[in-house]
Amino acid sequence: MLNINNIEVLYFNVIQVLRGVSLEVRESQVVTILGGNGAGKTTTLKAVSGLLRTEEGQVSHGDIEFDGVKIHRKSPEEISRMGIIQILEGRLVLEHLTTEENLLGGGLIRKDRAGVKRDLEMVYGYFPRLKSLRRNTSGYLSGGEQQMLVIGRALMSSPKIMLLDEPSMGLSPLLVKEIFGILGTINQEKRLPLLIVEQNVKQALTLADYGYVMENGRIVLDGPVEQLRENEDIKEFYLGLSAIGERKSYREVKHYKRRKRWIG
Amino acid sequence: MTIFLQYAISGLMVGAIYGLVAVGFVIIVKSSEVFNFAQGELLILGAFVCWALIFQLKLPPWLAVAGTLAFAGLFGMVVERFPLRPMIGQPLFAIIMVTLAVGICLRGFLTAIWGGMSWRVFKPPLLPPEPVRVGKLLLPQQHIYGFFIAVVVVLVLSLFFKYTRAGLAMRIVAEDHKVAQAMGISVRRVFRNSWAMSAILAAIGGILLGSINGINIPLANIGIKAIPAALIGGLQSIPGAVVGGLLIGLLEGLSSGYIGHGVQDVVAYIVMIVVLIFWPHGFFGLETIERV
């Protein structure tokens, strides 16, 4: 349903960040984009949601299609009204508003008020902790609660696809597990496709159906997660496992860098 | 004691109108971080338009007031659309200078149309002029009406922000533009609405002050007192702006009563300096929430 066709992205008309990225998200699929810092993962998400424009960036080449409609020239408002909702990196709650006001804010783009009410209960169902905090100022919630809140807020707008930017950032492993578990439930129950950018490769590969690896603004590797999990390079560079599959002892590693197979 | 109360109460009543205008100033600051230095001119614009509708076009007062408010709202939207929207993304200082320029132009046009220093008086007045006696105090009825109108308008506004979808959208934009856009909220529409609301509030203030004191161009300087009122209140806070307005009104009333006429024009700024030295964020300034 979402097709990114060979896009290039320029910031300030000179800085090229993406150099020909293509990817696809199918109906009710979870797709993950992996890669190091500065690889262009976030830029890819912003190209889809249109937020690129607010940062003086633009898609200079290629196109992005959603359900057959080209969206790479549309404004962020139009794109979110089509049902593409991006959850920005860093748990950006509206800190002086209460939990419930944050959630209702997510429903502002909808016309059906009855649906908003129903979805509020649905979000409280997925995240019971938010219900007990509904009148609290969201700036004072814990990190995990804030991450739940921004996911809930995105759900309130009744999205057709959700783009998540590093939902695991700065959270304890236990919370990351909990949040990824809930994301999996949401994906299954609502048949909601997710496009997740992650640095936590292990969690991402557990949840996703399909994965892409980015480096230097290009996609260097892609495949179903079962394949990616078995890939030597992924194991070596992202999961920290040696070829045999055991945890690697870095003490014994000689200080030369193994050349990645995909760097040409 | 009676004299003290007399000064204090009439000061507070005018202060409520300052607070009302300051709320308009704060609404624009909250949504777009722009300081609107044309607030004073928006105030006299409202006053002059209302006066002209009643005494030059001979409209009935209620229709004239409604027409003035509608005109003010439209005018606010126009100001947002033409000089300000193309400036989005430019340095804040440049935008603020543009508002100053808008104010100066407006002052020039108003002088050209309705005359420089001559007073335009609402005769017959919009609000009943006879003072009423409360105990030993003698209170002008106009001030009492002005006070209650200001209070009611502020209350309605706070309900609007708390309970309506448009109000929630405005508060979300005040929090974070980028998040608002990611949520599909049109930041531009919120800018437009906040300019319209601010201009309407200034016009209400202008009509009230104009019908109490009469209108001339320097009345704009009273509108500019919205800025110290807003700063005292913390710039981001609507209750703060009301408190700032009341405080300035109170001290003006007392100082002009006890020290002498003329002091009241500078009192607002003296208070502002003192408050900002001791409370740099004002009384109700929003602090960014940091969890430790």
The yes-or-no verdict on residue B292 having pLDDT over 70 is: no
Chain B residues touching residue A106 (CB < 8 angstroms): 183
At B152, give phi and psi (nearest 5°): -65, -45
Cβ(B227)–Cβ(B216) below 8 Å: no
Whether residues B184 and A97 touch (CB distance < 8 A) is answered with no
The yes-or-no verdict on residue A177 having pLDDT over 70 is: yes
Lowest-confidence segment of B172-186, B226-240, B252-266 by average pLDDT: B252-266
The closest alpha carbon to B207, from B138, B120, B113, belongs to: B120
> Which of A94, A160, A161 is the best mutation test for B, with the most CBs of B within 10 A?
A94
**B12 Ramachandran zone, left/alpha/beta (phi>0; psi -120 to 50):** alpha
Residue A77: which of B171, B179, B184 has the nearest Cβ? B184
The yes-or-no verdict on residue A203 having pLDDT over 60 is: yes
Where do the domains of chain B lie, and which CATH numbers do they carry?
2-278 (1.10.3470)
Q: pLDDT tens digit string along B76-118?
A: 999 999 999 988 888 999 999 999 999 999 999 999 998 766 7
Within 13 Å, how many C-alpha atoms sit on residue A182's CB side? 23
- B185 part of contact set with chain A, CB < 8 Å: yes
Pairing between β-strand B137-140 and β-strand B131-134 as defined by DSSP bridges: antiparallel
The closest alpha carbon to A53, from B89, B115, B222, belongs to: B89
The yes-or-no verdict on residue A124 having pLDDT over 80 is: yes
> Looking up tokens 């997925």, which residue turns up?
A126
* Strands in chain B per DSSP E: 131-134, 137-140
The yes-or-no verdict on residue A239 having pLDDT over 80 is: no
User: Average pLDDT, stretch A54-81?
Assistant: 92
User: Average pLDDT, stretch B29-51?
Assistant: 94
Per the DSSP assignment, residues forming a β-bridge with B259 are none
pLDDT at residue A230 in the model: 86
The yes-or-no verdict on residue B51 having pLDDT over 90 is: yes
Pairing between β-strand A69-70 and β-strand A210-215 as defined by DSSP bridges: unpaired
The yes-or-no verdict on residue B184 having pLDDT over 60 is: yes
pLDDT at residue A119 in the model: 95
SS3 A154: helix
At B287, give phi and psi (nearest 5°): -100, 145
Chain B residue at shortest CA distance from A142: B291
Alpha-carbon gap, residue B106 to A29, rounded angstroms: 58
* The two three-digit tokens of residue A114, written as one number: 């009855």
Alpha-carbon gap, residue A54 to A66, rounded angstroms: 21
Chain B residues touching residue A97 (CB < 8 angstroms): 171-172, 175
Residue A77: which of B177, B179, B181 has the nearest Cβ? B181
SS3 A81: helix
Amino acid code (one letter) for A103: L
pLDDT at residue B102 in the model: 96
B254-280: burial string, b at 16+ Cβ within 10 Å, e else: bbbbeeeeebbeebbeebbeebeeeee
Helix axes B61-79, B187-213, angle to 10 degrees: 140
User: Average pLDDT, stretch A177-195?
Assistant: 95
Alpha-carbon gap, residue A19 to A4, rounded angstroms: 13
Q: pLDDT tens digit string along B268-290?
A: 999 999 999 998 888 887 766 76
CA distance to partner chain A, nearest, from residue B275 (Å): 24
Give chain A's mean pLDDT.
90
Pairing between β-strand A161-165 and β-strand A84-87 as defined by DSSP bridges: parallel
pLDDT at residue A264 in the model: 45
Cβ(A214)–Cβ(A21) below 8 Å: yes
> Looking up tokens 């500065």, which residue turns up?
A38
The yes-or-no verdict on residue A245 having pLDDT over 70 is: no
At A87, give phi and psi (nearest 5°): -100, 115
Give alpha helix (H) positions in B80-186.
Answer: 92-114, 141-163, 165-175, 177-182
pLDDT band with cut points at 50, 70 and 90 for residue B137: confident
The yes-or-no verdict on residue A185 having pLDDT over 80 is: yes
pLDDT at residue B88 in the model: 84
SS3 A218: strand
**Spatial CB neighbours of A38, under 8 Å, sequence gap ≥ 6:** none
Q: Say how far residue A132 (Cα) sits from the centre of its chain.
A: 27
User: Average pLDDT, stretch A159-171?
Assistant: 94
Give chain B's mean pLDDT.
91
Lowest-confidence segment of A95-104, A145-154, B133-142, B226-235 by average pLDDT: B133-142
At A255, give phi and psi (nearest 5°): -85, 55
